[in-house]
Structure 1
Amino acid sequence: MLALAAGLLLLRFLPQLPSFGWLLALALVGLLLLPFRWRPLAFFLFGLVWACLNAQWALDDRLPVDLDGRTFWLEGQVTGLPDRRGDVVRFELEDIHSRHAGLPSRIRLAWYGGPEIRSGERWRLAARLKRPSGMVNPSAFDYEAWLLARRIGATGTIKAGERIAEAASSGAWRDRLRQRLLTVEAHGRAGAIAALVVGDGSGLSTADWRVLQDTGTVHLMVISGQHVGMLAGLLYALVLLLARWGIWSQRLPWLPWACGLAFAGALGYGWLAGFEVPVRRACLMVAIVLLWRLRFRHLGVWLPLLIALVGVLMVDPLASLQPGFWLSFVAVALLIWIFRGRLGVPSWWRALLYAQWAMALGLLPAMLVLGLPVSLSGPLANLLAVPWISALVVPLALLGSFLLWIPWLGEALLWLAGGLLAILFDLLALIAGWQPAWLAAALPLWAWGLVVLGTLILLLPAGVPLRMLGALLLAPLLFAPDSRPEQGRAEVWVFDVGQGLSVLVRTRDHALLYDAGPRYGDFDIGERVVFPSLRQLGLARLDLMMLSHADSDHSGGALAIQRAMPVGAVLSGEPERLPAVLAARSCRSGQRWSWDQVNFSVWRWPQATNGNQASCVLMVEAAGERLLLTGDIDAQAERALVDGEMEVNARWLLAPHHGSNSSSSAVFLAAVAADGALISRSRHNAFGHPHPAVLKRLQNAGAELHDTAEHGALSLQLGAFDGARRMRDEPRFWREK
């Protein structure tokens, strides 16, 4: 089983999938080894082959390249719970029929200004479909891997549609329950109750999720294995107590009924939750423990976890692409590690204290490698929230939901659960304000290995001598290896922020952010992409944030970044259009400074008549190699720049206005004479950027093209006269090149 699990898990780390011929050969080798002492190797090969086949089937079910970006009429059934935030509803469609062959079996769609959509309904839709793609940045979240793990073969936006059949699946009942829960009076916390009962987090606001993240309590607001196991344990204990008190019917043997009801409760709760990875793991472990309890066998603690691991991966090998899979199994393994085989039985409050300390420390390496925020206040917050949610809120919420058919009783229980949640969120907000989450810098493999070793040593039993020396191995967390550029050089990152712009210029001891990425409603690229990328690169502050102009695609993420980290000063071409809290000052032509032997100079057109023309233009020079950052200037501003005092010749050019045809004039490109052109934009954007005429002009000027939509985030070592590094070139089997 260990060998089988290792083969299944290896999929996550493969740069590319073996061909079908290689997989067939590996399977034959496994069959040949099966009768001999090398049987574990055979099971390892079986696990690897099964995982690779599943991954290849999912990749083959993606939208074909020749259909990318086209609009189709299609018909399908809504699956899962649609997610409405503001005027946008997002949902998944399966059982798809269309006149066009080659459409994937599952797609994820967004309908802006769309009607109410229910799970189980059938719709006929006109949708513009795109191949699965996501932003690729130093920050760790990989949207393409997430889509593949959910076997989503295309994403898209809806142009028009009509409902052709009402909901007719089991998911429709779950959706109706969610809608009913969202309408109850629960002190403004109906959305949190829906999250706990049916696993739908769309009713929680962005501020709520930020509080949960800062306090390390996100796991309590989604249906986790802890909730499933708790419900199963309560049902088992209820039957046991009734039998001991003589209330249980003698005609019904209590043990089979206790096990059966506990497993039925776990399955029912899992169905409400949509059977996500933690829930599948919990249901499997509950089933195994109850089965062995029926047979009066002592199972131990590691075997159920191993069976659950193999079971989850055999059913869905792509689960290992999701961060929640790793956190779920690591958390249970930690609890086993810290409590199994210890002398004596600690009191409940000692066990709770030790569990919170151990989980905060033990999950640290996993959080680091997954690039997730670490809550420093998590142990304190969970000490309060875990019993509050598990012992009070969840039982009340489930019982209230079950009794909603009795009007006053169900609603009264949900009202009480909402009140408890409101109190808890107020307390968590206080804790989050005292100590927000911490996002660590990325560590090299050897440093991360030391942190893992130090963590395991610290979690050894208290009697082990010199155990506290493990704390010394955690030193890389505080003293990360130096990754700063040399004196006289600059590290440049053009982040992949979709249809927007954000560029980091970092010298030995200083950092400048040129634009902060866009914001779309509650989805803030500055918070979700730019800031995590800055922290992954080891930055704790910015000396200067230069917002070329005030358009949202350039300045939308600025407030989030200023909240998240210290910013020395803010300059902009349009400071009057920016929020006053940014305290932005106007950039001016002729501003010059030097950081660590790297020179910076600014230009802005005084005769600008619109925001694009007013963009701050920044020239960065390191050891004679130059980079020109141009914002959204147009051809008129380009002509003024060429005729001005700034020397515009540069090796690297950020294409003005994302490659719009109103910019990148032939005269300007000839004056810059760049060897490389950097384009920041989203794939299939509504503006048609970059324009084919601009691409042709850049190629005629001899510039090599580097496009964030095609190549992900771009990295330069200014002063080294090297080429550009493209993050999408890093091999990942699920990533489209």
Structure 2
Amino acid sequence: MLALAMGLLLPRFLPGLPAAWVLIVLGLLGLLCLLRQASRPLSWLCFGLLWACLQMQAALDERLASELDGRTFWLEGQVLGLPAVQDGVVRFELGDIRSRHAGLPPRLRLAWYGGPQLRAGERWRLAARLKRPHGLVNPHSFDHEAWLLAHHIGATGTVKTGERLREAVGAGSWRDRLRARLLTVEAQGRQGAIAALVVGDSSGLSPADWRILQDTGTVHLMVISGQHVGMLAGLLYGLVALLARIGWWPRHLPWLPCACTAAFAGALGYGWLAGFEVPVQRACVMVAVVLLWRLCFRQLGVWLPLLIALDGVLLFDPLASLQPGFWLSFGAVAVLALTFSGRLGAWRWWLTLPRAQWAMVVGLLPLMLALGLPISASGPLANLLAVPWVGLTVPVALLGTALLPLSGLGEGLLLLAGWSLGWLFQLLELFADWQAAWIVESLPLWAWSLATVGALVLLLPAGVPFRALGALLLLPLLYPSTPLPLAGKADVWVFDVGQGLSVLVRTRSHALLYDAGPRHGDFDTGERIVFPSLRRLGVDRLDVLLISHADSDHAGGAVAVQRLLPTQRVLGGEPARLPAVLQAQSCESQTWRWDGVRFGLWRWAQAADGNQSSCVLMIEAGGERLLLTGDIDARAEQALVQSDWPLAAHWLLLPHHGSNSSSSLPFLSAVRPQNALISRGRHNAFGHPHPMVIGRLQDVGVRLYDTAESGALKVELGAFHEARGLREQRRFWREK
């Protein structure tokens, strides 16, 4: 069983899936190894690897074909799950796809800007522009492509128009009506949190709520997961056991089978109410295995049921291993099993929860580091209060939901649940203000290995000699591990922020951020992408935040970056149009040196609009030069050429994302770049970069690097090396 689990997990770490002939060899090898007892573990490893690869390849084959990428199609489908509406945008999933065009995926994720109200279970005819699954790739960012593949979504898209063909039917429509009912009850402003706990719809939580939950390490409490399903199953099991213990259970009914049946029925019911998403399916499988173990196989110990659940989940859906929640849920159960099993004597009840929280913090630390997740310093104390708090609130919310048909009673219980959640968020906000989440720098393998061993040593029983020495093995986490540029050189990162711009320039002891990415509604790339990437790269402060001009695709994330990261000085091409909280100064022409690297600023004094007002930055390190140009147009380029500014550069960031209004021939002739960097969004509405601009660059032999194709780009200025894109780090689910 362990070999089978290893085989099912192995493809998660492969840069690419094996070819068909390799899979055939694996199958034959597995059959041969079955003939001898000693080689049977290898046989099951081969079978697990073969099954996982076949399932993952099938999911990849369901993606939209490359030749259909970016095209608009008429199609029919049924709304799946609960549609979410934010800032006038309706986001939903569509299944049971039918179209006269062959090759469309069976499941889509769509956005309808200004669209009508959609209900789960409705059937629609839509005109939608479809795109192959694609996500932003940065030093630290959510892997959107892996998430889409794990949810078997073959394409994303934007709806142009549509018509409803059939009203809502099925269980999904009932859940949707229930969600709408929950969002209308009086719950002290916490209707969104109640809907998240009851039906698994977290769209009602605000960005501020999510920030509090992340900073306190309590996100898992507001997203229906194994913890919620396990809590409800445990509550029902414990209720039957309590009734049997005090003599109130019917004697003719054996209490243990009834307790296990009630617990499993409660888990399935809660899972159905939550929409049976992948984490809930995983939780129900684990609950079923634990209850079966408790009923019939308790003598086998705790590790075998955990291994059965692991194999069961992966056999059902090998793609579950692409999600961080899979690793954290099984890791948490394994840590608790290691902590509570095999101990001499029992712990006092009031020590159980604190010790469990301590074990979870230490035991999950290696997984959090490996997954690149933020670590909450206030998490242990926050969870110590929040876990039992939510554990008591969930039954009240579920009971109130069940009693909604009874006038006044259900609303009263939901009001009580709303009060409870309101007080909880106020307490969590205090913890978040005290200590925000900590994003650890990228760790080398040796440091992560030491931390893993240290965490395991600390989890050993108290009687083990030298157990406290495990804390020493965690010390590498406290020291910077990201290599710094040598004196006279600079590292330049062009982040992958979609249709926008954000560039980090780092010398040995200084850091400058040129633009902070866009903000679209409540999605702030400064907070979600730029800041985590800076911390992942070891940047803990900014000497200069330089905002080329005030357009949202360049300045949208600036406020978040300044709020989250100490910033010494803010410069901007349009300081009057930037938010007052930035206290930006005008970027007048000036030069300075940091660690042997020369910086020069230029701005056109006669600029007539925002694009022309962009600050232009030249960086020179070791004789190699990079020119950052913001969104200057041909007129500003002409003024720059006519100035006495030295323009020749090895690297050029294309002005205005490659728009045809920029990158004029006289400007390119003056710069004479060998390499050009393009920061833009894939399938952007502006058609950037323009084919004529690309043609001009190719005619003079300029090499192009594009964030939409290569992810975030790194240039080692002063080393005269090629740029490196993060998509070069191959993952089988990423497009080449």
Question: TM-score when scaled to structure 2?
Answer: 0.98
- 1:464 paired residue number: 464
> Residues of 2 paired with 1:538 and 1:97: CA distance?
49
Aligned equivalents of 2:554, 2:52: Cα separation in 1: 42
Q: Distance in 1 between matches of 2:9 and 2:272?
A: 26
SS of aligned partner of 1:372: coil
Aligned residue for 1:410?
410
What does the per-residue CA deviation read over 1:392-417, in whole Å, with 9 as the maximum and x for residues that have no partner? 20110111111111121111111101
CA distance in 2, matches of 1:63, 1:533: 30
2:154 counterpart of 1:153: yes
Q: Tell me which residue corresponds to 1:28.
A: 28
Q: How far did 1:140 drift?
A: 4.0
Name the structure 2 match of 1:52: 53
Q: Give the superposition deviation at 1:288.
A: 2.1
CA displacement 1:481-537 (0-9 Å, x = unmatched)? 251010100000000000000001000000000000000010000111111111111
Distance 1:278-1:61 versus aligned 2 partners, 3 A rule: closer
Mapped contact 1:3–1:43 kept (Cα < 8 A): yes
2:600 is the alignment partner of 1:614: no
CA pair 625-168 structure 1, distance change in 2 beyond 3 A: same
Q: Distance in 2 between matches of 1:682 and 1:288?
A: 46
Contact 2:629–2:653 (8 Å) recurs in 1: yes
Aligned equivalent of 1:214: 215
Q: 1:355 deviation in Å?
A: 1.2
Q: Structure 1 residues 468, 294: closer, same or farther in 2, change over 3 A?
A: closer
Mark the CA change 1:98 to 1:535 in structure 2 (over 3 Å): closer, same or farther.
same
Deviation at 1:468, TM superposition (A): 1.1
Q: How does 1:195-214 map to 2 (within 5 A)?
A: 195-214=196-215
**What is the CA-CA distance between 1:252 and the residue it aligns to?**
4.0
- Any idea what the Cα deviations from partners look like across 1:23-63, whole Å, max 9, x if unmatched? 01101110111121200001001111111111111111111
- State the shift of 1:296 in Å: 6.4
Question: Aligned partner of 2:56: which letter?
Answer: A
Partner of 2:180: 179
Cα distance change, pair 360–246 in 1 and its aligned pair in 2 (3 A) = closer
Matches of 1:694 and 1:319, distance apart in 2: 43
Query: Is the 1:319–1:325 Cα contact (8 Å) retained in structure 2?
Result: yes
| Counterpart residue type for residue 451 of structure 1 | A
Report the residue type matching 1:507 in the other structure.
Answer: T
Alignment of 1:442-453 (within 5 A): 442-453=442-453
**Residue identity opposite 2:330 in structure 1:** F
Output aligned runs, 1:687-706, within 5 Å.
Answer: 687-706=686-705
Partners of 1:396 and 1:299 in 2: how far apart?
Answer: 36
Structure 2 counterpart SS, 1:407: coil
CA-CA distance at 1:21 after TM superposition? 1.6
CA contact (8 A) 1:674 1:702 kept: no
| Letter aligned with residue 697 of structure 1 | R
SS at match of 2:92: strand
Show CA shifts across 1:89-127 (max 9, x none): 111111000111100011100011111111111110000
SS of the residue aligned with 1:326? Answer: helix
Residue 720 of structure 1, CA deviation:
0.4
User: Which residues of 2 match residues 412-427 of structure 1 at below 5 A?
Assistant: 412-427=412-427
* CA apart distance, 1:471: 1.2
Distance 1:630 1:297 in 2: 68
What percentage of aligned pairs have identical amino acids? 70
Amino acid at match of 2:138: N
Question: Where does the alignment leave 5 or more consecutive residues of structure 1 unmatched?
Answer: none
Instruction: Give distance in 2, aligned partners of 1:260 and 1:610.
Output: 70
| C-alpha contact (below 8 Å) 1:277/1:312 kept by paired residues | no
In structure 1, distance between residues paired with 2:182 and 2:306 = 34
Which amino acid in the other structure matches residue 622 of structure 2?
A
SS of the counterpart of 1:646?
coil
Q: CA contact under 8 A between 1:141 and 1:371: conserved in structure 2?
A: no
Work out whether residues 442 and 482 of structure 2, in 8 Å CA contact, stay in contact via their aligned partners in 1. no
Question: Which amino acid in structure 1 is aligned with residue 345 of structure 2?
Answer: G
* Cα shift readout 1:622-672 (whole Å, capped 9, x = no counterpart): 011000000000000001101112101000000000000000001111111
Q: How does 1:104-253 map to 2 (within 5 A)?
A: 104-253=105-254
- The yes-or-no answer on 1:14 pairing with 2:1 is no
Structure 1: distance between partners of 2:527 and 2:461: 40
1:256 CA displacement = 2.8
Tell me the equivalent position of 2:727: 728
**1:442-498 alpha-carbon deviations (Å, 9 max, x no partner):** 101111111111111111111111111111111111113251010100000000000
Q: Report the alpha carbon displacement of residue 286 of structure 1 after superposing the two structures with TM.
A: 2.1
Contact 2:141 2:528 in 1 (8 A): no
Q: Take 2:302 and 2:279, find their aligned partners in 1: how far apart are those partners?
A: 17
Local SS of the residue matching 2:677: strand
Kindly indicate whether the alpha-carbon contact (under 8 Å) linking 1:509 and 1:596 is maintained by their aligned counterparts in 2: yes
Question: What letter corresponds to residue 111 of structure 1 in structure 2?
Answer: W
State the AA in 2 paired with 1:675.
Answer: Q
The equivalent residue for 1:587 is: 587
- Amino acid across the alignment from 1:80: G
Note the aligned Cα RMSD (angstroms): 1.2
User: 8 Å contact 2:488–2:596 — kept in the other structure?
Assistant: yes
Q: How far 1:237 sits from its partner (Å)?
A: 2.4
- Please list, as runs of the form range in 1=range in 2, the aligned pairs for 1:470-509 lying within 5 A after superposition: 470-509=470-509
Match of 1:512 in 2: 512
CA contact 1:440–1:535 (8 Å) conserved in 2: yes
Counterpart position of 1:543: 543
Deviations 1:264-309 (A, max 9, x none): 1011111222334443333223212322443364342111111111
Bigger mean CA offset, 244-253 vs 57-66: 244-253
Q: 611-620 or 429-438, which moves further after superposition?
A: 429-438
Distance 2:430 2:554 in 1: 32
Report 1:338-377 matches (<5 A).
338-377=339-378
Shift, 1:601, TM fit? 0.3
Q: Kindly provide the amino acid, as one letter, of the partner of residue 397 in structure 1.
A: A
The Cα of 1:239 is off from its aligned counterpart by 2.5
Shift of 1:440: 0.8
3-state DSSP of counterpart to 2:375: coil
CA deviation digits over 1:239-281, x for unaligned, max 9?
Answer: 2333444444455443332222211101111122233444333
Provide the C-alpha distance between the structure 1 equivalents of 2:657 and 2:585, rounded to a whole number of angstroms: 25
Contact 1:669–1:701 at 8 Å: present in 2 too? no
2: CA distance between counterparts of 1:344 and 1:250?
32
Q: Is the 8 A contact 2:187 2:414 kept in 1?
A: yes
Cα distance in 2, alignment partners of residues 461 and 298 from structure 1: 22
Cα deviation, residue 238, structure 1? 2.2
Question: 1:74 maps to which residue?
Answer: 75
TM-score by length of 1: 0.98
In the alignment, is the contact (CA less than 8 A) between 1:83 and 1:91 conserved in 2?
yes
1:575 is matched with which residue? 575
> How far apart in 2 are the matches of 1:301 and 1:636?
72
> Number of matched residues?
735
Unaligned segments of structure 2, at least 5 residues: none
* 1:656 aligned partner: 655
Answer yes or no: is the 8 Å Cα contact 1:356–1:382 preserved in 2: yes
For 2:458 and 2:296, the matched residues in 1 are separated by 37
Q: Distance in 1 between matches of 2:381 and 2:237?
A: 30
Amino acid at match of 2:308: I
Partners of 2:494 and 2:339 in 1: CA distance: 44
1:206–1:522 contact (8 Å) kept in structure 2: yes
Partner of 2:95, secondary structure, is: strand
Check whether the contact 2:496–2:708 (CA below 8 A) recurs between aligned residues: yes
